[in-house]
Structure 1
Amino acid sequence: MRNILHIFLLLSVYTITAQDTYIQCGTIIDVANGKSILEKTIVVSGDRIKTIDNGFTSGTNEDIVIDLKTKVVLPGFIDMHVHIEQESGPKTYTKRFTDNEADVAFESTVYAKRTLMAGFTTVRDLGGTGVNIALRNAIDKGLVVGPRIFTAGKAIATTGGHADPTNGMKKELMGNPGPKEGVVNSPEDGKKAVRQRYKDGADVIKITATGGVLSVAKSGHNPQFTIEEIKAITETAKDYGMLTAAHAHGDEGMQRAILGGIKTIEHGTMMSDETMELMKQYNTYLVPTITAGKQVAEKAKIQGFFPEIVAQKAAAIGPLIQDMFKRAYKKGVPIAFGTDAGVFPHGLNAKEFGYMVEVGMPIKEALKSATITNAKLLGVEDKIGQIKEGFVADIIAVDNNPFNDIHTVEKVSFVMKEGVVYKR
C-alpha cells in the first residue's frame, strides 16, 4: 500500500510539472524589429517561454490552452519611474503625520496590483519610505500581487533638498537627518548613504539632483549636489552593482549629474541643447515622465489641492516636460520609458505612450523604450522585455494593434507574469 501511494505521489508531481500553457496568439508584436507577427502559439513551461510555434497548437490533454486569436500580444511593459507606496493628493502632506508604516504598506498593495493589471510587469520604484523594499519581497514570495520591483528604497537628498523627509515640518520635528535617512552633505556622507541603501536591500540608487515640484520647499529646479558628492555616490553605487538615477528639473543640476556619472535623468524639464549633447556624449538616458507633468499642471488649477508653495511650482514646471521631450528626442538623446506614477493614479501608466507619440516619437520606438531599452538598463535584457524563447513569460494582450492606435495599450485585457495568469 505504501509503495502504491509513493508511485501515485510521483505521478502527481510529474503531471503538475509537465503541464504547459499554450497561448494561441492572433498577432505578436516583435518589439525588437517593430513588426507584427501573425498566428503563433507561445508555449510556456513554468515561468519561461519554452517555444514559439507556427500556427495554433494545443499540446496534449493535460496542457492548458489560452485563446488569444483575436488579440494582439506584447511583452509586459517596464516603467522606470514609479512611487508604488502612495498617490499624490490633497491629503499627502498630512498623511506623513497620520499614517503608520502598516497603513502605507496596505495601500501599496492596492497600487501594486493596479499596476500589474495595467500590463506593467516590471517597475523601478524611485523612492519612498522603505516599505517599497518589503513590498518587493512580498511580491517575490507570492504573498502580494504586483509587478517585479527594482527599488531605490529611500531617495538621497541634501539638507532641505527635494527628498529631505523633514521639509515643511516645524523646527521641533525637523531634527538633523543624515545618511541613514537619505540626507547627505559631503562625499563621505554620500558613500555612507549608498552603503546604507545597500544594507537596507535597495536595488538602485536615486538622488534628487535639483529641487522638485511636490516637496514643500521654495525652488523646483536649483542644483542641490556638488559634482564631488555625486561622483562619490555613483562610484560607490558601481562598487555595489547598483544603477543610478537623478531627479532633475534644472539644467545646471542635470549637467552635474551627467558629469558625475548618473545613468538616467528623471524629468529633465529645463534641459538645454548643451545638456542634450552631453547626454548623448555620456550615453545618459532621459526618463521623461510626461504624464506626471500634465497631472501636476492640471491639479495646480484646483484651489487647495497642493500647498501654495507647491502649486506655484506645479503650474510653472508641469507644462514644460512634453515640449522638452520633443526636443530631446529630435536631438537623439537616449530615451527610457518612465511615468512617475504615484504623482498621478497608478494603473494609468500607459498614457505616457500617447504623449510620447503625440510629439513625434514613432510607435515602435515608444514600445521599445518600455521593453528592450528598460530591460537593458536594469541589466536583465536576457530575461525580460521580449517575447522570445528562454525569456521569462511576462506576456500581455490588447484588443487592437498598437501600431495602428497606440492608445489601445491603455486597455490591457490579458496579463501573465512569470507564467502565471493574473488577468484574462
Structure 2
Amino acid sequence: MFLRGFLALCLAGAAIPAAADTLAVTAARMLDVETGRVIDNPRIVITDGRITAAGPAATTPAPAGARGLDLAGLTLLPGLIDMHVHLSSDPRLGGDRALRFVRSFQAVMGVAHAKVTIEAGFTTVRNVGSDGFDDLALKQGIENGYIPGPRIVPATYAIGATGGHCDTNQYPAEFEFARPGIADGPDAIRSKVRELHRRGAEVIKFCATGGVFSAGTSVGAQQYTQAEMDALVAEAHMLGMKVAAHAHGTSGINTALRAGVDTIEHASFADATSFELAKKSGAWFSMDIYDDDYILAEGARNGVPEENLAKEREVGLKQRQNFQAAHKAGVKMVFGTDAGVYPHGDNALQFAKLVEWGMTPLQAIQTATVNAGQALGKAGDVGSLSPGHFGDIIAVAGDPLGDVTVLRKIAVVIKDGQIVKDAR
C-alpha cells in the first residue's frame, strides 16, 4: 500500500521532501564563548547547515540517521571571524612588485588565500577593500562550490578622497587610470555608496585618515570632513549596511565616531575622547596589533618603500598602547588582522598579542567569535555554538583558555556542517 501511494505521488508530480543532512559532533570539551563555561563530553547537532542542538552528550541525543564525528581529545569552539582582511593582497608584493602581474592575478591569489584562511579556522571574514570586485568573485566561487574558503562579507572598493589613503598616488603626474573608489563631497559620496551597494557590497569601508601603505599621505591626517562622513554613514545605514572607517589619526577617528560608524579600523592614535565616543555610540574598535612585528621584520625584503616603513615605526607601539588603554576603558573590541599586510593563514598569531596587551584568553577569543558576530549584525548566524547558528566549528588540542596559542594549530574545521579540514 505504501509503495502504491508513493508511486501515485510521483506520477502526480508531487514533491518528495529531501532527507535532512544531519551531523552529530562529539569531543572532549566545548567552549561556550558567551559565558566562558567549558562543557565536558559535548555533542553538537547540525542539520542542513545549522546547529539544532548543543550541550552535554548525555542530554543531547543524536537524531536517528545522523552522521557521527567523534573528535576525541579535542576542544570545540565556534568558527573564527576576522573582521579585516584583504584576500586578494599578498604582503610579498610590496611597493610596485604587483605591477609585474596582470590585474586578474589578484583574484587568482585570492583563491589560495581563501583556502589557507578557512584551514586556519576562520570560517567568516569581512573583506574590507579589493580591486576589480575580486571579493565578490571569491564569494561567488565559494558559495557555488568551486573553491574552498570562508564566508565573505564583501566591501568591494574602499571609498576615499582624492589624493588620500584609498587613492593611488605613487605614479608620475601624467599617468591616468580608473580610480573607482574615489569620491569627494557629500553628494558624490552618497552616490558612490549607492553604486557599491548596487554592485554587491555588504559593508562600506572608507578611509577617514591617511595610512601606512599609501604614498604621500600623513598616517594620521584626516581626509574627509564631518559633512562628508555624515553623508556616507547615513546613506549606508539607510541601505542597511554597516560602515567600517580606516582611521589612524585622532581627529579622523573622532569625526568618524561622531558620524556614527560601526567599526574603527586600526584606531592607532585614539584618545580618551575616542573611547567615550565609541562607548556612547556602541562602535567597535578593530585593532591589528600583530602587524607591526611582521611589517618591520619583513617589509624591506618584501619591497615596501622606506616611506611606508617609517610610518609603521610611528604607528606600531602607540597603537598597542592605545589598544591596552581602550580595552581598560571598556571600548568594545573585535578581531581584525589586516591579513594581506601579513601572510594569510597566520591570522591566529594575533590572539597572543591581544593577551600580551591586556586581554584574558577568553576575551581575546570573544573578539573573534561572539563580538564579531554582533558587530557584523549577524549575531544569530555566526560567532556562537548556540542552536540556530551556522554549523561552523573548529577543534583544537589543548585548552585555549589556558594557552590561546593553541588556536594557531587547528585540527578540524567544519563549515555549514561540512568537514573542510581534518588534520588529526
TM-score between the two structures when normalised by the length of structure 2:
0.92
| 1:58/1:318 CA distance change after superposition, 3 Å | same
CA contact (8 A) 2:45 2:52 kept: yes
Residue 374 of structure 1 corresponds to 372
Q: Whose helix proportion is higher, 1 or 2?
A: 1
Counterpart Cα distance in 2 of 1:15 and 1:38? 36
Partner of 1:159: 162
1:320 to 308, 318, 340: 318
Q: What residue identity is the alignment partner of 1:117?
A: E
Contact 2:286 2:333 in 1 (8 A): yes
Alignment-derived partner of residue 331 in structure 1: 329
What is the letter of the counterpart of residue 67 of structure 2? I
Equivalent residue, structure 1, for 2:26: 24
Matches within 5 A, 1:287-326: 287-300=286-299, 302=300, 305-326=303-324
Name the counterpart of 2:118.
116
- 2:345 matched to which residue of 1? 347
Classify 1:305/1:55 alpha carbon distance in 2 versus 1 (closer, same or farther; 3 Å).
same
1:85/1:175 Cα in 2 relative to 1: closer, same or farther (>3 Å)?
Answer: closer
Match of 1:132 among 129, 135, 148: 135
In structure 1, the partner of 2:84 is 81
* Deviation (angstroms), 1:304: 6.8
Answer yes or no: is the 8 Å Cα contact 1:293–1:320 preserved in 2: no
Q: Is the CA contact 1:194–1:205 (under 8 Å) kept in the aligned structure 2?
A: yes
- Whether the aligned pair in 1 keeps the contact of 2:81 and 2:372 (CA below 8 Å) is yes
Tell which deviates more after alignment, 323-332 or 305-314: 305-314
Q: Is the 8 Å Cα contact of residues 43 and 54 (structure 2) preserved in structure 1?
A: yes
Aligned equivalents of 1:419 and 1:325: distance in 2?
35
In the TM superposition, what is the alpha-carbon distance from 1:144 to its structure 2 partner?
A: 1.6
| More off after superposition, 13-22 vs 405-414 | 13-22
Offset at residue 195 of structure 1 (A): 0.9
How far off is 1:70 after superposition? 0.4
1:4–1:285 distance in 2 versus 1, CA, 3 Å: closer
Alignment deviations for residues 341-369 of structure 1 (CA, whole Å, 9 cap, x no partner): 11100111111111111121122122112
The Cα offsets for residues 198-222 of structure 1, whole Å up to 9 and x where unpaired, read as 1211100011111000112241111
The C-alpha deviation readout for 1:301-360, integer Å capped at 9, x for no partner, is: x46731122122122222322221111101111111111111100111111111111121
CA shift digits 1:274-310 (9 cap, x unpaired): 222222222221101112233223335x467311221
1:392 to 390, 393, 408: 390
Counterpart contact for 1:297–1:319, Cα < 8 Å: no
| Secondary structure class of the residue paired with 1:281 | helix
User: What is the rounded CA distance, in whole Å, between the counterparts of 2:274 and 2:17 in structure 1?
Assistant: 58
Question: How far apart are the structure 1 equivalents of 2:257 and 2:218?
Answer: 21
**Distance change (3 Å), C-alpha of 1:196 and 1:60:** closer
1:41 corresponds to 2:43: yes
> Is residue 2:70 matched to residue 1:71?
no
Measure the CA separation in 1 of the matches of 2:294 and 2:88: 18
Match of 1:103 in 2: 105
* Aligned with residue 147 of structure 1, among 142, 146, 150: 150
After TM superposition, the score normalised by the length of structure 1 is 0.92
Alignment partners' CA distance in 1, 2:284 and 2:346: 23
User: For residues 240 and 206 of structure 2, what CA distance do their matches in structure 1 show?
Assistant: 16
Measured in 1, the distance between the counterparts of 2:65 and 2:16 equals 11
Moved more, 287-296 or 33-42: 287-296
Q: Identify unmatched segments of 5+ residues in structure 2.
A: none
Aligned twin of 2:268: 269
Trace 1:183-332 onto structure 2 (pairs within 5 A): 183-300=182-299, 302=300, 305-332=303-330
Quote the Cα distance in structure 1 between the aligned partners of 2:221 and 2:376: 29
Matched residue SS, 1:154: coil
Deviation at 1:376, TM superposition (A): 1.2
Q: Judging changes above 3 Å, is the alpha-carbon distance between structure 1 residues 14 and 232 closer, same or farther for their aligned structure 2 residues?
A: same
Tell me the CA shift for residue 2 of structure 1: 12
Assess if the C-alpha contact under 8 Å between 2:94 and 2:302 holds in 1: no
Deviation at 1:270, TM superposition (A): 1.1
Counterpart Cα distance in 2 of 1:355 and 1:321: 12
Amino acid paired to 2:398 = N
SS of the aligned residue for 1:184 comes to: coil
Q: Give the letter for the 1:200 counterpart.
A: R
Q: Partner amino acid for 1:194?
A: V
1:413 matched to which residue of 2?
Answer: 411
- Sequence identity of aligned pairs in percent? 34
Instruction: Quote the offset at 1:4 in angstroms.
Output: 10
2: distance between equivalents of 1:220 and 1:362? 30
| Cα 1:182/1:19, change in 2 over 3 Å | closer
Aligned residue in 2 for 1:173: 175
